[in-house]
């Protein structure tokens, strides 16, 4: 066994130590701790290891709330105080901006944070029949493994579903097709929860009756999905109405299907939208582009502030949902939505949007490199960039600042996924 002192955390929540000039990434270790560790992967310049014994303990170490922490791969930071998690994520953001883009924000925004338990309103659980472990397992993957964690509860899911994993296991095990249900998707709306079973074979009438009984007992709307996301449908027609979430600050209610992409943390989403609108400052008479707009999460607050918004999204289904949400909230006259593949954006396609005074970009993990490279002389004077990957944000920021003439006015994190290493952030660029 080897011993090391931990200097910092990496972007996956592992402790970083340096031994004889080599970086050692140690799972389960926190900054300031002295640990004994065992390496499971050795390379010339780094090693990956697991802490086997704490010699001295960080004052920021806490007891994990979930009994499956360390086995389940869903969380990696439950052993670190929640406030310290946010600080660590802020450091990851700043390090990414500096090491990738050689940029330091002019201002560090106060971190956005909220509830740390029961926050995950969307989840995709894997299902697998494992006779050696007693039958069906439902949950997240084990750490660094394709196996499903043998978990009986989940503390980051709302308790109404997080404490029903054993019941879900029993439900799938009671069906005629227990080995043909690979996935269960959870979607929690304002007034109900939908449970979607992905099915590779059609459930029998008896199966459907069991699903109905399960939904009635637990207060869930039960859906099945025989193919792609658009094939998902309720077992009973009276469960077909859309789910909704609200943005009270903007007097908005947005409808979505259980398989649509929405932010998993409704509390942080509201605060992130507030911060975005503070930075963007939409005003009547302005024309603002919302790229990767989804079903209108940022578009409709922009319109509610009186600006004309142009939402662009690659999914035709989400664009239709955004337009319907605009209509339902009385904002059709201030919004238009277009279908376009923004990963293939060109100067011509961006110019084709017409006059754009300001822009909000909220891309997936891949970032928005094609968009930022396509910006021309008539580019907007202000860009708010919401990111779920500090690496691609930094890459895109380098283009915006070093090639397009913007300044990085500020950046900060939002703790969208507490207890995980996921870093959500927001940045403001101006020129």
pLDDT in tens, 125-148: 999 999 988 899 999 999 888 999
User: Is position 184 within any domain?
Assistant: yes
What pTM did the predictor assign? 0.94
Does the annotation place 362 within a ligand binding site?
Answer: yes
Same domain? For 136 and 194 the reply is: yes
Does the annotation place 263 within a ligand binding site?
Answer: yes
Same domain? For 275 and 419 the reply is: yes
* pLDDT tens digits, 19-45: 998 999 999 999 999 999 999 999 999
Same domain? For 302 and 387 the reply is: yes
Tokens, residue 362: 């909220």
Does the annotation place 292 within a ligand binding site?
Answer: yes
Contacts with 51 (C-beta within 8 Å, 6 or more apart), sequence order: 15, 26, 27, 28, 29, 33, 35, 36, 37
Full domain range(s) for residue 44: 1-61
Does the annotation place 293 within a ligand binding site?
Answer: no
Same domain? For 49 and 160 the reply is: no
Give me the count of residues in the chain.
Answer: 431
**Whether 54 contacts 23, CB under 8 Å:** no
User: Is position 78 within any domain?
Assistant: no
Q: Is 348 exposed, middle or buried (0-12, 13-18, 19+ CB in 10 A)?
A: exposed
Question: Which residues partner with 337 through β-bridges?
Answer: 311
Question: Domain tally for the chain?
Answer: 3
Same domain? For 332 and 422 the reply is: yes
Does the annotation place 313 within a ligand binding site?
Answer: yes
User: Is position 55 within any domain?
Assistant: yes
Q: Give the model's pLDDT for residue 218.
A: 96
Residues involved in catalysis: 388
Same domain? For 138 and 187 the reply is: yes
User: Is position 358 within any domain?
Assistant: yes
User: Is position 370 within any domain?
Assistant: yes
User: How far is the C-alpha of 50 from the C-alpha of 39, rounded, in Å?
Assistant: 6
Q: Give the model's pLDDT for residue 142.
A: 94
Give me the tens of pLDDT residue by residue for the chain, a chain 431 residues long: 799 999 999 888 899 999 998 999 999 999 999 999 999 999 999 999 999 999 999 999 999 999 999 999 999 999 999 999 999 999 999 999 999 999 999 999 999 999 999 999 999 999 999 998 889 999 999 988 899 999 999 999 999 999 999 999 999 999 999 999 999 999 999 999 999 999 999 999 999 999 999 999 999 999 999 999 999 999 998 888 899 999 999 999 999 999 999 999 999 999 999 999 999 999 999 999 999 999 999 999 999 999 999 999 999 999 999 999 999 999 999 999 999 999 999 999 999 999 999 999 999 999 999 999 999 988 999 999 999 999 999 999 999 999 999 999 999 999 999 999 999 999 999 99
Same domain? For 317 and 398 the reply is: yes
* Phi–psi pair at 173, nearest 5 degrees: -65, -25
Same domain? For 169 and 279 the reply is: no
Does the annotation place 207 within a ligand binding site?
Answer: no
> Which CATH number is 22's domain given?
2.40.50.140
């Amino acid at each position: 066994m080897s011993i090391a002192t931990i200097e910092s955390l990496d972007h996956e929540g592992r402790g970083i130590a340096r031994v004889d000039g080599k970086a050692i990434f140690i799972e389960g270790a926190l900054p300031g701790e002295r640990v004994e560790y065992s390496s499971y992967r050795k390379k010339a310049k780094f090693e990956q290891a697991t802490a086997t014994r704490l010699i001295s303990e960080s004052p920021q170490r806490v007891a994990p709330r979930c009994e499956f922490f360390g086995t389940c791969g869903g969380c990696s930071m439950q052993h670190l105080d929640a406030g310290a998690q946010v600080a660590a994520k802020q450091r990851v953001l700043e390090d990414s901006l500096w090491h990738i883009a050689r940029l330091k924000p002019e201002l560090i925004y106060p971190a956005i944070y909220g509830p740390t338990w029961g926050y995950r309103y969307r989840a995709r659980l894997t299902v697998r029949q494992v006779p050696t472990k007693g039958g069906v397992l439902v949950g997240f993957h084990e750490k660094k493994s394709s196996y499903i964690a043998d978990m009986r509860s989940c503390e980051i899911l709302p308790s109404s579903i997080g404490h029903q994993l054993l019941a879900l296991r029993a439900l799938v095990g009671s069906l005629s097709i227990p080995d043909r249900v690979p996935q269960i998707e959870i979607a929690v709306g304002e007034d109900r929860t939908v449970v979607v079973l992905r099915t590779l074979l059609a459930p029998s009438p008896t199966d459907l009756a069991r699903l109905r009984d399960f939904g009635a007992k637990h207060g869930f709307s039960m859906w099945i999905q025989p193919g792609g996301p658009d094939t998902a449908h309720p077992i009973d027609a009276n469960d077909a109405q859309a789910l909704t979430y609200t943005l009270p600050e903007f007097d908005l209610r947005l409808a979505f299907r259980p398989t649509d992409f929405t932010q998993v943390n409704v509390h942080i989403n509201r605060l992130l939208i507030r911060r975005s609108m503070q930075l963007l400052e939409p005003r009547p008479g302005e024309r603002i582009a919302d790229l990767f707009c989804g079903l209108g999460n940022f578009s409709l607050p922009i319109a509610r502030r009186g600006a004309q918004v142009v939402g662009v999204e690659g999914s035709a289904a989400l664009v239709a949902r955004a337009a319907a949400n605009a209509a339902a909230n009385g904002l059709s006259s201030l919004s238009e939505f277009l279908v376009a593949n923004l990963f293939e954006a060109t100067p011509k396609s961006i110019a084709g949007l017409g006059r754009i005074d300001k822009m909000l970009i909220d891309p997936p993990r891949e970032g928005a490199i094609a968009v930022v490279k396509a910006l021309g002389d008539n580019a907007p004077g202000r860009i708010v960039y919401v990111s779920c990957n500090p690496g691609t944000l930094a890459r895109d920021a380098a283009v915006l600042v070093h090639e397009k003439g913007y300044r990085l006015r500020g950046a900060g994190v939002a703790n969208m996924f507490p207890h995980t290493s996921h870093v959500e952030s927001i940045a403001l660029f101006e020129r």
